[in-house]
A and B are shown apart, each in its own frame.
Chain A
Protein backbone atom coordinates (compact mmCIF):
# COMPACT_ATOMS: atom_id res chain seq x y z
CA UNK A 1 0.00 0.00 0.00
CA UNK A 2 2.27 2.75 -1.27
CA UNK A 3 0.01 5.62 -0.53
CA UNK A 4 1.53 9.06 -0.34
CA UNK A 5 -1.27 10.65 1.60
CA UNK A 6 -0.85 8.04 4.34
CA UNK A 7 2.80 8.93 4.52
CA UNK A 8 2.06 12.63 4.73
CA UNK A 9 -0.37 12.08 7.56
CA UNK A 10 2.03 9.98 9.61
CA UNK A 11 4.92 12.29 8.82
CA UNK A 12 2.96 15.23 10.12
CA UNK A 13 2.18 13.36 13.34
CA UNK A 14 5.85 12.38 13.61
CA UNK A 15 6.96 16.01 13.47
CA UNK A 16 4.26 16.99 15.89
CA UNK A 17 5.21 14.28 18.37
CA UNK A 18 8.75 15.58 18.63
CA UNK A 19 7.41 19.05 19.30
CA UNK A 20 5.08 17.67 21.99
CA UNK A 21 7.93 15.83 23.62
CA UNK A 22 10.40 18.67 23.80
CA UNK A 23 8.02 21.42 24.75
CA UNK A 24 6.08 19.73 27.52
CA UNK A 25 6.41 20.98 31.07
CA UNK A 26 6.22 17.61 32.76
CA UNK A 27 8.04 14.35 32.23
CA UNK A 28 4.75 12.63 31.51
CA UNK A 29 4.24 14.86 28.49
CA UNK A 30 7.68 13.87 27.28
CA UNK A 31 6.70 10.21 27.53
CA UNK A 32 3.50 10.90 25.58
CA UNK A 33 5.53 12.53 22.83
CA UNK A 34 7.84 9.52 22.65
CA UNK A 35 4.87 7.16 22.41
CA UNK A 36 3.25 9.14 19.60
CA UNK A 37 6.63 9.15 17.88
CA UNK A 38 6.70 5.36 17.93
CA UNK A 39 3.06 5.10 16.89
CA UNK A 40 3.58 7.29 13.84
CA UNK A 41 6.95 5.99 12.74
CA UNK A 42 5.96 2.32 12.52
CA UNK A 43 3.42 2.84 9.69
CA UNK A 44 6.04 4.81 7.80
CA UNK A 45 8.53 1.98 7.81
CA UNK A 46 6.27 -1.05 7.47
CA UNK A 47 4.76 0.24 4.29
CA UNK A 48 6.08 -2.16 1.70
CA UNK A 49 5.52 -5.69 0.61
CA UNK A 50 8.69 -7.56 1.39
CA UNK A 51 9.50 -9.77 4.37
CA UNK A 52 12.33 -7.57 5.52
CA UNK A 53 10.25 -4.51 6.29
CA UNK A 54 7.95 -6.47 8.62
CA UNK A 55 10.92 -7.82 10.53
CA UNK A 56 12.47 -4.34 10.69
CA UNK A 57 9.34 -2.75 12.04
CA UNK A 58 9.01 -5.54 14.60
CA UNK A 59 12.53 -5.05 15.91
CA UNK A 60 12.08 -1.30 15.99
CA UNK A 61 8.79 -1.63 17.86
CA UNK A 62 10.18 -4.01 20.47
CA UNK A 63 13.24 -1.97 21.39
CA UNK A 64 11.52 1.40 21.34
CA UNK A 65 8.51 0.29 23.35
CA UNK A 66 10.71 -1.34 25.99
CA UNK A 67 12.79 1.82 26.24
CA UNK A 68 9.83 4.14 26.55
CA UNK A 69 8.06 2.00 29.12
CA UNK A 70 11.24 1.82 31.20
CA UNK A 71 11.48 5.57 30.87
CA UNK A 72 7.98 5.97 32.27
CA UNK A 73 8.72 3.68 35.19
CA UNK A 74 11.81 5.68 36.05
CA UNK A 75 9.80 8.89 35.82
CA UNK A 76 7.35 7.46 38.36
CA UNK A 77 10.16 6.38 40.69
CA UNK A 78 11.68 9.83 40.41
CA UNK A 79 8.27 11.30 41.19
CA UNK A 80 7.76 9.08 44.20
CA UNK A 81 11.21 9.63 45.63
CA UNK A 82 11.07 13.38 44.92
CA UNK A 83 14.46 13.59 43.26
CA UNK A 84 13.85 16.54 41.05
CA UNK A 85 16.91 18.64 41.41
CA UNK A 86 20.06 16.64 41.98
CA UNK A 87 21.05 15.11 38.71
CA UNK A 88 23.92 12.78 39.50
CA UNK A 89 22.19 9.77 41.00
CA UNK A 90 21.13 6.32 39.96
CA UNK A 91 17.68 7.37 38.76
CA UNK A 92 19.22 9.71 36.23
CA UNK A 93 21.39 6.79 35.09
CA UNK A 94 18.26 4.71 34.47
CA UNK A 95 16.44 7.50 32.69
CA UNK A 96 19.45 8.27 30.56
CA UNK A 97 19.84 4.59 29.73
CA UNK A 98 16.32 4.35 28.42
CA UNK A 99 16.77 7.49 26.35
CA UNK A 100 20.05 6.20 24.99
CA UNK A 101 18.27 3.02 23.98
CA UNK A 102 15.71 5.07 22.09
CA UNK A 103 18.48 6.84 20.24
CA UNK A 104 20.50 3.82 19.29
CA UNK A 105 23.55 4.80 21.24
CA UNK A 106 26.08 2.32 22.56
CA UNK A 107 25.80 0.07 24.60
CA UNK A 108 22.19 -0.24 23.48
CA UNK A 109 22.99 0.05 19.81
CA UNK A 110 22.61 -3.51 18.60
CA UNK A 111 19.24 -2.96 17.01
CA UNK A 112 20.40 0.07 15.06
CA UNK A 113 22.53 -1.38 12.23
CA UNK A 114 20.04 -4.23 11.80
CA UNK A 115 17.12 -1.89 11.34
CA UNK A 116 19.03 0.53 9.14
CA UNK A 117 19.88 -2.42 6.91
CA UNK A 118 16.21 -3.18 6.39
CA UNK A 119 14.95 0.30 5.57
CA UNK A 120 14.99 2.36 2.40
CA UNK A 121 17.17 5.44 2.18
CA UNK A 122 14.53 8.02 2.95
CA UNK A 123 13.30 6.09 5.98
CA UNK A 124 16.93 5.83 7.08
CA UNK A 125 17.24 9.56 6.82
CA UNK A 126 14.25 10.03 9.11
CA UNK A 127 15.59 7.43 11.55
CA UNK A 128 19.06 8.90 11.67
CA UNK A 129 18.15 12.54 11.99
CA UNK A 130 14.66 13.31 13.15
CA UNK A 131 14.21 10.41 15.56
CA UNK A 132 17.25 11.53 17.49
CA UNK A 133 15.97 15.00 18.31
CA UNK A 134 13.54 14.25 21.07
CA UNK A 135 15.63 11.72 23.05
CA UNK A 136 18.57 14.11 22.92
CA UNK A 137 16.67 17.10 24.15
CA UNK A 138 15.13 14.99 26.90
CA UNK A 139 18.64 13.84 27.74
CA UNK A 140 19.69 17.44 28.17
CA UNK A 141 16.99 18.02 30.79
CA UNK A 142 18.25 15.45 33.32
CA UNK A 143 21.63 13.93 32.62
CA UNK A 144 24.28 12.27 34.74
CA UNK A 145 27.65 13.65 33.74
CA UNK A 146 29.94 10.76 34.62
CA UNK A 147 27.64 8.14 33.18
CA UNK A 148 27.26 10.10 29.96
CA UNK A 149 31.00 10.56 29.53
CA UNK A 150 31.43 6.81 29.83
CA UNK A 151 28.66 6.28 27.27
CA UNK A 152 30.27 8.79 24.93
CA UNK A 153 33.53 6.87 25.02
CA UNK A 154 31.70 3.65 24.25
CA UNK A 155 29.80 5.33 21.41
CA UNK A 156 32.96 6.61 19.80
CA UNK A 157 34.82 3.34 20.04
CA UNK A 158 31.94 1.15 18.89
CA UNK A 159 31.02 3.52 16.08
CA UNK A 160 34.52 3.58 14.73
CA UNK A 161 35.49 -0.05 15.19
CA UNK A 162 32.14 -1.45 14.15
CA UNK A 163 32.24 0.11 10.73
CA UNK A 164 35.53 -1.45 9.76
CA UNK A 165 34.08 -4.74 8.61
CA UNK A 166 31.03 -3.52 6.74
CA UNK A 167 30.25 -3.81 3.07
CA UNK A 168 26.75 -2.45 3.17
CA UNK A 169 26.50 1.32 2.85
CA UNK A 170 23.54 1.52 5.19
CA UNK A 171 25.35 -0.21 8.01
CA UNK A 172 28.37 1.97 7.38
CA UNK A 173 26.32 5.08 7.79
CA UNK A 174 24.68 3.50 10.85
CA UNK A 175 28.00 3.09 12.62
CA UNK A 176 29.04 6.55 11.53
CA UNK A 177 25.80 7.77 13.04
CA UNK A 178 26.61 6.03 16.33
CA UNK A 179 30.01 7.72 16.34
CA UNK A 180 28.48 11.11 15.67
CA UNK A 181 26.02 10.46 18.47
CA UNK A 182 29.01 10.42 20.81
CA UNK A 183 30.00 13.90 19.62
CA UNK A 184 26.44 15.13 19.89
CA UNK A 185 25.90 13.85 23.42
CA UNK A 186 29.05 15.62 24.49
CA UNK A 187 27.90 18.81 22.83
CA UNK A 188 24.65 18.57 24.84
CA UNK A 189 26.75 18.70 27.98
CA UNK A 190 28.50 21.84 26.74
CA UNK A 191 25.52 23.89 25.61
CA UNK A 192 22.24 23.25 23.83
CA UNK A 193 23.02 25.83 21.18
CA UNK A 194 26.11 23.89 20.23
CA UNK A 195 24.10 20.69 20.07
CA UNK A 196 21.66 22.36 17.71
CA UNK A 197 24.50 23.60 15.54
CA UNK A 198 26.15 20.17 15.41
CA UNK A 199 22.84 18.47 14.75
CA UNK A 200 21.88 20.79 11.88
CA UNK A 201 25.23 20.39 10.19
CA UNK A 202 25.20 16.64 10.73
CA UNK A 203 21.71 16.27 9.30
CA UNK A 204 22.66 18.41 6.30
CA UNK A 205 25.68 16.20 5.61
CA UNK A 206 23.68 13.02 6.03
CA UNK A 207 21.03 14.44 3.73
CA UNK A 208 23.60 15.10 1.03
CA UNK A 209 25.04 11.60 1.33
CA UNK A 210 21.69 9.87 1.46
CA UNK A 211 20.29 11.85 -1.45
CA UNK A 212 23.34 10.89 -3.48
CA UNK A 213 22.90 7.20 -2.65
CA UNK A 214 19.17 7.42 -3.20
CA UNK A 215 19.49 8.97 -6.65
CA UNK A 216 22.08 6.45 -7.73
CA UNK A 217 20.09 3.65 -5.99
CA UNK A 218 23.19 2.33 -4.26
CA UNK A 219 22.98 0.11 -1.21
CA UNK A 220 26.29 -1.74 -1.13
CA UNK A 221 29.92 -0.79 -1.41
CA UNK A 222 30.68 -2.70 -4.56
CA UNK A 223 28.11 -0.60 -6.36
CA UNK A 224 30.34 2.39 -5.75
CA UNK A 225 33.16 1.19 -7.91
CA UNK A 226 31.59 -1.29 -10.27
CA UNK A 227 29.33 1.03 -12.16
CA UNK A 228 30.75 3.94 -14.06
CA UNK A 229 29.80 7.12 -12.31
CA UNK A 230 30.46 10.57 -13.57
CA UNK A 231 33.61 12.21 -12.23
CA UNK A 232 31.67 14.93 -10.48
CA UNK A 233 29.53 12.41 -8.66
CA UNK A 234 32.65 10.69 -7.40
CA UNK A 235 34.09 14.04 -6.39
CA UNK A 236 30.90 14.84 -4.54
CA UNK A 237 31.13 11.48 -2.82
CA UNK A 238 34.69 12.26 -1.78
CA UNK A 239 33.78 15.68 -0.44
CA UNK A 240 30.75 14.46 1.45
CA UNK A 241 32.54 11.51 3.02
CA UNK A 242 35.47 13.63 4.14
CA UNK A 243 33.10 16.28 5.43
CA UNK A 244 31.24 13.62 7.44
CA UNK A 245 34.52 12.41 8.86
CA UNK A 246 35.43 15.89 9.96
CA UNK A 247 38.36 16.89 7.83
CA UNK A 248 39.31 20.58 7.89
CA UNK A 249 38.40 22.53 4.84
CA UNK A 250 34.94 20.96 4.69
CA UNK A 251 31.78 21.81 6.51
CA UNK A 252 31.85 18.86 8.89
CA UNK A 253 34.95 20.10 10.63
CA UNK A 254 33.38 23.20 12.13
CA UNK A 255 31.20 21.68 14.90
CA UNK A 256 33.94 19.22 15.81
CA UNK A 257 36.39 22.08 16.01
CA UNK A 258 34.25 23.94 18.52
CA UNK A 259 33.85 20.80 20.63
CA UNK A 260 37.60 20.11 20.60
CA UNK A 261 38.21 23.73 21.55
CA UNK A 262 35.99 23.31 24.58
CA UNK A 263 37.61 19.99 25.49
CA UNK A 264 41.12 21.39 25.42
CA UNK A 265 40.33 24.59 27.28
CA UNK A 266 38.70 22.62 30.07
CA UNK A 267 41.53 20.06 30.19
CA UNK A 268 39.64 16.94 29.12
CA UNK A 269 42.81 15.51 27.61
CA UNK A 270 41.99 11.81 27.68
CA UNK A 271 38.60 12.41 26.12
CA UNK A 272 40.20 14.53 23.40
CA UNK A 273 42.55 11.68 22.64
CA UNK A 274 39.67 9.26 22.23
CA UNK A 275 37.70 11.70 20.05
CA UNK A 276 40.70 12.17 17.78
CA UNK A 277 41.69 8.54 17.45
CA UNK A 278 38.21 7.31 16.67
CA UNK A 279 37.76 10.05 14.07
CA UNK A 280 40.94 8.80 12.49
CA UNK A 281 39.60 5.27 12.20
CA UNK A 282 36.41 6.56 10.62
CA UNK A 283 38.27 8.66 8.08
CA UNK A 284 40.35 5.59 7.30
CA UNK A 285 37.44 3.53 6.22
CA UNK A 286 35.84 6.42 4.34
CA UNK A 287 39.03 6.96 2.39
CA UNK A 288 39.22 3.23 1.74
CA UNK A 289 35.82 3.41 0.02
CA UNK A 290 36.59 6.56 -1.95
CA UNK A 291 40.00 5.33 -3.01
CA UNK A 292 38.57 2.22 -4.58
CA UNK A 293 35.75 4.23 -6.09
CA UNK A 294 38.16 6.60 -7.80
CA UNK A 295 40.90 4.23 -8.84
CA UNK A 296 39.15 1.02 -9.62
CA UNK A 297 37.00 2.01 -12.55
CA UNK A 298 37.97 5.18 -14.34
CA UNK A 299 36.23 5.31 -17.66
CA UNK A 300 36.74 8.29 -19.93
CA UNK A 301 35.70 8.58 -23.52
CA UNK A 302 38.07 10.00 -26.12
CA UNK A 303 35.86 12.16 -28.29
CA UNK A 304 33.21 13.47 -25.93
CA UNK A 305 34.77 15.07 -22.91
CA UNK A 306 32.15 15.91 -20.34
CA UNK A 307 29.66 13.08 -20.11
CA UNK A 308 26.92 14.42 -17.88
CA UNK A 309 24.77 11.40 -17.41
CA UNK A 310 22.80 12.18 -14.30
CA UNK A 311 21.06 15.20 -12.92
CA UNK A 312 23.88 17.28 -11.60
CA UNK A 313 22.64 20.60 -10.25
CA UNK A 314 21.77 19.47 -6.73
CA UNK A 315 24.97 17.51 -6.48
CA UNK A 316 27.09 20.45 -7.57
CA UNK A 317 25.34 22.73 -5.13
CA UNK A 318 25.86 20.34 -2.26
CA UNK A 319 29.56 19.99 -3.05
CA UNK A 320 29.91 23.73 -3.16
CA UNK A 321 28.18 24.10 0.19
CA UNK A 322 30.35 21.42 1.75
CA UNK A 323 33.57 23.00 0.62
CA UNK A 324 32.91 26.63 1.09
CA UNK A 325 30.55 26.93 4.00
CA UNK A 326 33.14 26.82 6.72
CA UNK A 327 35.05 29.70 5.21
CA UNK A 328 31.95 31.63 4.30
CA UNK A 329 30.57 31.25 7.80
CA UNK A 330 33.44 33.29 9.16
CA UNK A 331 32.22 36.19 7.06
CA UNK A 332 28.78 36.20 8.60
CA UNK A 333 29.83 37.47 11.97
CA UNK A 334 31.76 40.44 10.67
Chain B
Protein backbone atom coordinates (compact mmCIF):
# COMPACT_ATOMS: atom_id res chain seq x y z
CA UNK B 1 0.00 0.00 0.00
CA UNK B 2 2.11 2.85 -1.32
CA UNK B 3 0.44 5.83 0.27
CA UNK B 4 2.78 8.61 1.33
CA UNK B 5 0.76 10.27 4.04
CA UNK B 6 0.80 9.43 7.70
CA UNK B 7 -2.91 10.04 8.18
CA UNK B 8 -3.67 6.94 6.17
CA UNK B 9 -1.76 4.86 8.68
CA UNK B 10 -4.04 6.05 11.47
CA UNK B 11 -7.15 5.42 9.45
CA UNK B 12 -5.88 1.98 8.52
CA UNK B 13 -5.08 1.08 12.14
CA UNK B 14 -8.43 2.38 13.28
CA UNK B 15 -10.24 0.49 10.57
CA UNK B 16 -8.46 -2.79 11.33
CA UNK B 17 -9.18 -2.37 15.04
CA UNK B 18 -12.86 -1.86 14.31
CA UNK B 19 -12.86 -4.85 11.99
CA UNK B 20 -11.56 -7.14 14.70
CA UNK B 21 -14.03 -5.67 17.17
CA UNK B 22 -17.01 -6.56 15.02
CA UNK B 23 -15.72 -9.95 13.89
CA UNK B 24 -16.97 -13.18 15.32
CA UNK B 25 -14.50 -14.23 18.00
CA UNK B 26 -14.48 -17.07 20.44
CA UNK B 27 -13.27 -15.07 23.41
CA UNK B 28 -14.34 -11.75 24.83
CA UNK B 29 -10.74 -10.82 25.53
CA UNK B 30 -10.05 -10.46 21.80
CA UNK B 31 -12.76 -7.80 21.58
CA UNK B 32 -11.28 -5.90 24.50
CA UNK B 33 -7.83 -6.15 22.92
CA UNK B 34 -9.17 -4.70 19.69
CA UNK B 35 -10.60 -1.83 21.70
CA UNK B 36 -7.16 -1.20 23.14
CA UNK B 37 -5.71 -1.32 19.65
CA UNK B 38 -8.11 1.41 18.54
CA UNK B 39 -7.07 3.41 21.59
CA UNK B 40 -3.44 2.96 20.54
CA UNK B 41 -4.14 4.23 17.05
CA UNK B 42 -5.94 7.26 18.44
CA UNK B 43 -3.02 7.86 20.82
CA UNK B 44 -0.61 7.91 17.90
CA UNK B 45 -2.88 10.18 15.88
CA UNK B 46 -3.33 12.56 18.81
CA UNK B 47 0.44 12.65 19.35
CA UNK B 48 1.15 13.60 15.77
CA UNK B 49 -1.60 16.24 15.80
CA UNK B 50 -0.45 17.79 19.04
CA UNK B 51 3.16 17.97 17.89
CA UNK B 52 2.15 20.95 15.80
CA UNK B 53 1.07 22.90 18.90
CA UNK B 54 4.56 23.36 20.34
CA UNK B 55 4.72 20.49 22.82
CA UNK B 56 1.34 21.05 24.54
CA UNK B 57 0.68 17.35 25.09
CA UNK B 58 -1.57 17.71 28.10
CA UNK B 59 -4.71 16.66 26.28
CA UNK B 60 -2.93 13.46 25.30
CA UNK B 61 -2.40 12.62 28.95
CA UNK B 62 -6.02 13.29 29.78
CA UNK B 63 -7.05 11.08 26.88
CA UNK B 64 -4.73 8.35 28.14
CA UNK B 65 -6.22 8.50 31.63
CA UNK B 66 -9.76 8.11 30.34
CA UNK B 67 -8.88 5.35 27.91
CA UNK B 68 -7.13 3.38 30.62
CA UNK B 69 -10.19 3.80 32.85
CA UNK B 70 -12.37 2.46 30.08
CA UNK B 71 -10.03 -0.47 29.45
CA UNK B 72 -10.01 -1.39 33.10
CA UNK B 73 -13.79 -1.17 33.18
CA UNK B 74 -13.90 -3.63 30.31
CA UNK B 75 -11.61 -5.98 32.15
CA UNK B 76 -13.70 -5.76 35.30
CA UNK B 77 -16.77 -6.69 33.31
CA UNK B 78 -14.78 -9.60 31.87
CA UNK B 79 -13.92 -10.72 35.39
CA UNK B 80 -17.53 -10.40 36.47
CA UNK B 81 -18.58 -12.48 33.51
CA UNK B 82 -16.05 -15.18 34.25
CA UNK B 83 -17.25 -15.28 37.85
CA UNK B 84 -20.81 -15.89 36.79
CA UNK B 85 -20.50 -17.88 33.58
CA UNK B 86 -17.20 -19.67 34.12
CA UNK B 87 -15.37 -18.52 31.00
CA UNK B 88 -15.45 -15.70 28.52
CA UNK B 89 -16.82 -17.51 25.51
CA UNK B 90 -19.46 -15.67 23.53
CA UNK B 91 -21.51 -18.82 23.15
CA UNK B 92 -22.30 -18.93 26.83
CA UNK B 93 -24.63 -15.94 26.50
CA UNK B 94 -28.30 -16.62 26.79
CA UNK B 95 -30.65 -14.94 24.36
CA UNK B 96 -31.74 -11.58 25.64
Q: Which residues of B contact A38 (CB under 8 A)?
A: 70, 73
- Measured CA separation A77–B5 after assembly (Å): 14
- Measured CA separation A186–B70 after assembly (Å): 32
Residue ID in chain A nearest B22 by CB atoms: A66
Residue ID in chain A nearest B7 by CB atoms: A80
Given A35-B69, A42-B73, A61-B77: A76 and B94 interface contact (C-beta under 8 Å): no
Closest CB-CB distance, B95 to chain A, in whole Å?
A: 9
Inter-chain contact A69/B42, CB cutoff 8 Å: yes
The answer to whether the Cβ of A307 comes within 8 Å of any Cβ in the partner chain is: no
Number of chain A residues whose Cβ lies closer than 8 Å to a Cβ of chain B: 34
The answer to whether the Cβ of A326 comes within 8 Å of any Cβ in the partner chain is: no
Contact flags A39-73 to B (C-beta < 8 A → 1, else 0): 10010001000011011111101100110111011
Inter-chain contact B96/A73, CB cutoff 8 Å: no
Find B81's partner among A58, A65, A69 (CB 8 Å cutoff). Answer: A58
Inter-chain contact B94/A52, CB cutoff 8 Å: yes
Inter-chain contact B81/A54, CB cutoff 8 Å: yes
Find B93's partner among A55, A70, A77, A80 (CB 8 Å cutoff). Answer: A55
Find B96's partner among A36, A65, A70, A117 (CB 8 Å cutoff). Answer: A117
Q: Which residues of B contact A103 (CB under 8 A)?
A: none
Number of chain B residues whose Cβ lies closer than 8 Å to a Cβ of chain A: 32
Inter-chain contact A79/B49, CB cutoff 8 Å: yes
Closest CB-CB distance, B19 to chain A, in whole Å?
A: 12
- Measured CA separation A73–B45 after assembly (Å): 9
The answer to whether the Cβ of A114 comes within 8 Å of any Cβ in the partner chain is: yes
- Measured CA separation A117–B63 after assembly (Å): 33
Closest CB-CB distance, B24 to chain A, in whole Å?
A: 14
Residue ID in chain B nearest A70 by CB atoms: B18
Which B49-72 residues sit within 8 Å CB-CB of chain A?
49, 59, 62-63, 66-67, 69-70
- Measured CA separation A55–B91 after assembly (Å): 12
Inter-chain contact A35/B66, CB cutoff 8 Å: yes
Q: Which residues of B contact A57 (CB under 8 A)?
A: 77, 80
The answer to whether the Cβ of A32 comes within 8 Å of any Cβ in the partner chain is: yes
- Measured CA separation A295–B62 after assembly (Å): 59
Inter-chain contact A55/B49, CB cutoff 8 Å: no
Inter-chain contact B14/A73, CB cutoff 8 Å: yes
Closest CB-CB distance, B35 to chain A, in whole Å?
A: 6
Q: Which residues of A contact B66 (CB under 8 A)?
A: 31-32, 35-36
Inter-chain contact B77/A42, CB cutoff 8 Å: yes
The answer to whether the Cβ of A224 comes within 8 Å of any Cβ in the partner chain is: no
Inter-chain contact A32/B62, CB cutoff 8 Å: yes
- What 6 pairs across the A-B complex have the smallest Cβ distances? A114-B96, A35-B66, A54-B84, A117-B96, A54-B80, A54-B81
Binding site for A on B (CB under 8 A): 7, 11, 14, 18, 21, 28, 31, 35, 38-39, 41-42, 45-46, 49, 59, 62-63, 66-67, 69-70, 73-74, 77, 80-81, 84-85, 93-94, 96
Q: Besides A28-B59, A54-B80, 8 other CB < 8 A contacts?
A: A31-B66, A42-B73, A59-B96, A61-B74, A66-B21, A69-B38, A69-B39, A117-B96
16 contacts between A and B (CB under 8 A): A39-B73, A46-B80, A51-B84, A54-B81, A55-B93, A58-B81, A61-B73, A66-B21, A66-B35, A69-B38, A69-B39, A72-B63, A77-B11, A79-B49, A114-B96, A118-B96
